[in-house]
Amino acid sequence: MARTRRFAAGTVAEAYLALLKNRGIGRLFVNAGTDFAPIVEAYARRPVSGLDLPEIVVCAHENLAVSMAHGAHLGDGRPQAVMLHTSVGTANAVCGVLTAARSRVPLLVTAGRTPLFEDGAPGARDAGIHWAQEMYDQAGMLREFVKWDYELRDAVQVETVVDRALDVARTQPAGPVYLTLPREVLARPANGVEARDGPAAVPVPASPDPDAVDRLAAHLAGARHPVVVTASTGADPRTAPLLDELCRRFSIGVLEHKPRYVNVPSGHPLHLGYDLGPVLAEADVLCFLDVDVPWTPGSGEPRDDAIVVQCGPDPHFGAYPIRGHRSDLSITTDTRGLLTTLLSALDDRAAAIDPDRRARLAGTARRNRERRRETLATAALSGGPIDKTFMNWALGEVRPDDGVIVNEYWARPEFLGGLAPGAYFNSPPAGGLGWGLPAALGVRLARPDRTVIATVGDGSYMFANPAACHHAMRAHGLPVLTVIAANGRWAAVENSALTMYPGGHAAAAGEISAFACLEPVPAFEKYAEASGGHGERVTERAGLVPALRRGLRAVRDEGRPAVINVHCA
């Protein structure tokens, strides 16, 4: 039976914060405003109250706060908490919340609420902005992206509300939740709040249906060219060795489709690479493990006679308004549970597996590895301007064994062999720019013993509010190496127009459209220098590897952040 504990809290704010820490929330990422007065007082009163409260991580912009919390979850696997300033802070944070939602990251996103009362109660309105900032439905801004939203209304609710929020956020598919905190409620006396003591129970994920697993095992065992396709299974690093074992033992090809994590070792003997097109043409069984967009209609689809299986906590991604990819078998399950069960189910069917298919799959995997090696070798030896392939080669030359890469543009896992689970995080599926650098800070905060490298473009660096990010690096002691591929354009905008209108006027113009142009490119390295860090601009191939080494030295030996601004074709 759970033990009940009385929290020695004077106010609801103190009780709320103490309960967060009691439930395992170790950090509170904040961007404060006038609604924070009871929170500020709660932290100032700690020498008197003796309460154990979450560590405060002050962030100079809301996108930094939410994306840094996102990165901290990537770093330690725990839910994180954020507090923003009323409606305006929430508005600035919506992109980060959308990014966390599509990445299934459990965040408790909270915000103050404009005071309820015009006067007469502790915490009532005392500034002109309290009228202008109030909304009829503050949570409506992000309701589509959160799993739950609510408003704290009284001290007697604190335990129920906190536990409900964390329970919903962590239940698979995980995601952010939103809680508003009126100033008057936070300022009320706590009246001896009692609550169950200890961390909240973690919801147990759904187990796969045994009959469905048996059907999947039969399809995989009887196939001539079976392939497992994954993008995000490595969100739980414990799945990587299971997927590795499954494909090795039972001669199943594995392909990483726009991977966001290290899902399986790149050197796996049956790793078919990162290009889905050839696999769609060959595979007679395709098992998609938690892949939100299995293929792009019109660019290639599975064979008509292929068996298509979709698996995951929400295999059809119900939060996406439209998603018409076919599925002959859908299994609702967490990936680790499925892989564990599938290993056992295939043991019983191993004798039925075609003995020749391992050699066929291994041959394809070997040819793919050879092509990647040739591509890197060519990039290393050829001359001309710096391109992204050369940048990947250079990063591979200097990446330390403890390095963790947080990518929002150019770093590709296929060119950075030897990445262990948890050593690579790629852009979330929603594509809201400005995630990468703040997320890298969150990873560094959660893993202070690792070297964190943020690989971004000039556009994503500007969207990250770099002044706020470098301020946080200095304020919280989070040295990160940031490597910018500065090509002076929005590549996604340009490529989209040229793809849709290959013979159009934009293509014939022979120059970058004004919609895609970022010129003139600022001296981004100066952001690091302005915050006491190391900054360099690189324009020639011969200078890149030495500059990266100097940047790593600044981060690892001197404890200073570094920016390497690379002029890239």
> What is the secondary structure of 297-327 as a DSSP string?
TTS----TTSEEEEEESSTT-TTSS------
**Which pLDDT does position 284 carry in this prediction?**
97
CA nearest to 330, candidates 345, 342, 312, 317: 312
Q: How confident is the model at residue 495 (pLDDT cuts 50, 70, 90)?
A: confident
pLDDT band (50, 70, 90) for residue 1? very low
What amino acid occupies position 31? N
**Interval 192-210 mean pLDDT:** 85
Supply the pTM of this predicted model: 0.96
Euclidean distance between CA atoms 141 and 176, whole angstroms: 14
Same fold across 4-196 and 382-567: yes
Mean pLDDT of 141-151: 97
Q: Are 63 and 98 in contact (CB under 8 A)?
A: no
For residue range 411-462, list pLDDT tens digits in order: 999 999 889 999 999 999 998 999 999 999 999 999 999 999 999 999 999 9
Average of per-residue pLDDT across 285-290: 97
Q: How confident is the model at residue 93 (pLDDT cuts 50, 70, 90)?
A: very high
pLDDT at residue 107 tops 90: yes
Q: 407 - beta bridge partners?
A: 455
Q: What is the mean pLDDT of residues 303-307?
A: 97
Q: What's the CA gap between 262 and 256, in Å, rounded?
A: 9
Beta bridge partners of 405: 424, 453
- Asked if residue 194 has pLDDT above 80, the reply is no
Query: Contact, 66 vs 82, CB < 8 A?
Result: yes
Bridge partners of 489, per DSSP, are 517
Q: Domain 4-196 is classified in which CATH homologous superfamily?
A: Thiamin diphosphate (ThDP)-binding fold, Pyr/PP domains (3.40.50.970)
User: pLDDT confidence of 504, banded at 50, 70, 90?
Assistant: confident
What is the predicted pLDDT for the residue at 159? Answer: 94
Question: What distance, in Å, lies between the first and last C-alpha atoms of the chain?
Answer: 64
Whether residue 5 has pLDDT greater than 80: no
Phi and psi dihedrals of 72, rounded to 5? Answer: -65, -35
pLDDT at residue 2, rounded to an integer? 59
pLDDT in tens, 313-355: 999 999 999 999 999 999 999 999 999 999 999 999 999 999 9
Tokens found for residue 381: 């030896």
User: What are the residue ranges spanned by the domains of the chain?
Assistant: 4-196, 210-366, 382-567
Lowest mean pLDDT among 197-201, 313-317, 374-378, 441-445: 197-201
Q: What share of the chain is helix, strand, coil (3-state, %, to 5)?
A: 45, 15, 40
Q: How far apart are CA 351 and CA 292, in angstroms?
A: 33
DSSP E strand stretches across 131-276: 149-151, 177-182, 194-196, 226-230, 253-256
Q: What is the pLDDT of residue 28?
A: 98
| pLDDT over 80 at 8, yes or no | no
Q: Span 519-525, mean pLDDT?
A: 90
Nearest CA among 13, 70, 375, 359 for reference residue 185: 13
**Per-residue confidence (pLDDT) for residue 513, from 0 to 100:** 81
Specify the pLDDT at position 223. Answer: 97
Kindly report the average pLDDT of the chain as a whole number: 94
* Superfamily of domain 210-366, CATH level 4: TPP-binding domain (3.40.50.1220)
With a pLDDT cut of 90, the percent of the chain lying above it is: 85
Looking at 3.40.50.970, 3.30.450.40, 3.40.225.10, 3.40.50.1580, the CATH number of the domain 382-567 comes to 3.40.50.970
Rounded to an integer, what distance in angstroms lies between the CA atom of residue 440 and that of residue 451?
10
